[in-house]
């Protein structure tokens, strides 16, 4: 069964697969690794422009390792899941400084590095090093769950274990890199999450879900939980002598870790309290904007922006490394939280 599975899939891939993605030409472990990290929980169409800009800015692992974290996060702004960028940067530094620039070539070595899981390691090794390795990303899980009518949410330990066993079985001894790309492409196209084009699928003759008319039932979904709602107030503090807004660097861990954001206070705290603590004075009444909602994987965050024009430039606030005056007309290369960037862009248009 597995010989038929791989041969039919590879035959389909030759004619219908994606062969011209930017990370598929002049393959190196570095390029494939960056693409694999960007593609985690992000669609190919979204990743392509980010990948091209990232490679133009950091063309080699050494360039990435020697860059400042802010420069890396700036290139990642808008792509989301920023821990990926921080781990990418940390891993580049480890390989450059501790491994003398030698990229690891085993799944075990790669998975010991920040941000690289078993499937990502397999993708890097198979695609860039021509060594047999297996992958199991979201697209692959969907294809296998449907093909086998596999019960259970894919990320449950027992179900995940079965999926790895089947992925190992189906991955051929030869043409494994093409097979890995083929099964991902199938999951991203014909075997998509909604409205799968089963009649056109090269695997339909062996697919249990197709035979029983149950394709849309698989993979089983994670039991839904109602997302809680949190609220915060972001202070948009304007410098009276320029087009600058005060930003604060967030702690390295947690939501938006290491990114620059607007200072936050709780919804029950008066902006005047923040100003008093930092020795600041406003020159007019604050302007409270309509709240905006930003949704994370595990909660909604309702953000109320409050625009405050300061009476004078607060030099005392400029504690090195924590605060930054962000010029709306000439922004630097900083990593910004997505809703913060939207707010700053909206403010820049008003100037």
Residues 268-316: tens digit of each pLDDT: 999 999 998 888 888 888 999 999 999 988 899 999 999 999 886 655 4
CATH fold group of domain 2-217: Endonuclease III; domain 1 (1.10.340)
| Domains 2-217 and 229-350 equal at CATH topology level | no
As a whole-number percent, the residues of the chain with pLDDT over 90 amount to 77
The arrangement of secondary structure in 229-350, i.e. its CATH architecture, is Alpha-Beta Complex (3.90)
Cα 240 to Cα 185, 280, 323, distances in angstroms: 53, 12, 17
Cα 72 to Cα 67, 88, 92, 111, 334, distances in angstroms: 7, 9, 11, 22, 8
Angle at 83 between CA 82 and CA 85, to 5 degrees: 65
128 pLDDT higher than 50: yes
Rg, the chain, Cα only:
24
Q: How many CB atoms are located within 10 Å of the residue 332 CB? A: 12
Note the residue count of the chain.
Answer: 351
pLDDT (tens digit per residue) in 104-119:
999 999 999 999 999 9
- The pTM (predicted TM-score) of the whole model is 0.78
pLDDT (tens digit per residue) in 151-165:
999 999 999 999 999
Cβ atoms 308, 286 nearer than 8 A: yes
Q: How far apart are CA 75 and CA 92, in angstroms?
A: 15
Q: Active-site residues: which are they?
A: 36
pLDDT (tens digit per residue) in 211-226:
999 999 999 998 888 8
Residue 1, pLDDT score: 46
Beta strand spans in the chain (E): 229-238, 244-249, 260-261, 264-265, 287-288, 292-295, 300-309, 323-327
pLDDT (tens digit per residue) in 31-90:
999 999 999 989 999 999 999 999 999 999 999 999 999 999 999 998 988 999 999 999
Q: Hey, which residues does 327 pair with through a beta bridge?
A: 244
179 pLDDT higher than 50: yes
Q: What are phi and psi of 211, to 5 degrees?
A: -65, -30
Average pLDDT value for residue range 2-30:
93
Which sequence spans correspond to the domains of the chain? 2-217, 229-350
| Average pLDDT for the chain | 92
């Amino acid at each position: 069964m597995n010989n038929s599975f791989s041969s039919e899939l590879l035959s389909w891939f030759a004619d219908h697969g994606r062969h011209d993605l930017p990370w598929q030409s002049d393959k190196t472990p570095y390029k494939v690794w960056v693409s694999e990290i960007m593609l985690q929980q992000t669609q190919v169409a979204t990743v392509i422009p980010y990948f091209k800009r990232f490679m133009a800015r950091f063309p080699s692992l050494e360039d990435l390792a020697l860059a400042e974290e802010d420069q890396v996060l700036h290139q990642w702004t808008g792509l989301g899941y920023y821990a990926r960028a921080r781990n990418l940067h940390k891993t580049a530094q480890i390989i450059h400084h501790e491994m003398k620039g030698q990229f690891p070539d085993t799944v075990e070595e790669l998975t010991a590095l920040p941000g690289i899981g078993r499937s990502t390691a397999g993708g890097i090794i198979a695609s860039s090093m021509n060594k047999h390795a297996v992958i199991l990303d979201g697209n692959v899980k969907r294809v296998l769950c449907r093909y086998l009518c596999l019960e259970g949410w894919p990320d449950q330990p027992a179900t995940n274990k079965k999926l790895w066993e089947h992925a190992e079985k189906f991955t051929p001894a030869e043409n494994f890199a093409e097979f890995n790309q083929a099964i991902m492409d199938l999951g991203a196209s014909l075997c998509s999450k909604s409205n799968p084009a089963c009649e056109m699928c090269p695997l339909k003759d062996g697919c249990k879900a197709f035979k029983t008319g149950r394709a849309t039932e698989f993979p089983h979904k994670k039991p839904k939980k109602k997302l809680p709602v949190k609220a915060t107030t972001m202070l948009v503090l304007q410098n009276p002598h320029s087009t600058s807004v005060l930003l604060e660097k967030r702690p390295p861990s947690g939501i938006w870790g290491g990114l620059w954001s607007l200072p936050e206070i709780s919804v029950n705290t008066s902006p005047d309290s923040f100003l008093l603590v930092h020795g600041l004075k406003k020159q007019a009444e604050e302007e409270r904007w309509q709240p905006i909602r930003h949704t994370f994987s595990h909660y909604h965050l309702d953000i109320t922006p409050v625009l405050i024009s300061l009476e004078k430039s607060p030099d005392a606030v400029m504690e090195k490394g924590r605060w930054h005056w962000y010029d709306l007309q000439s922004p630097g290369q900083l990593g910004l939280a997505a809703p913060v960037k939207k707010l700053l862009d909206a403010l820049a248009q008003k100037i």
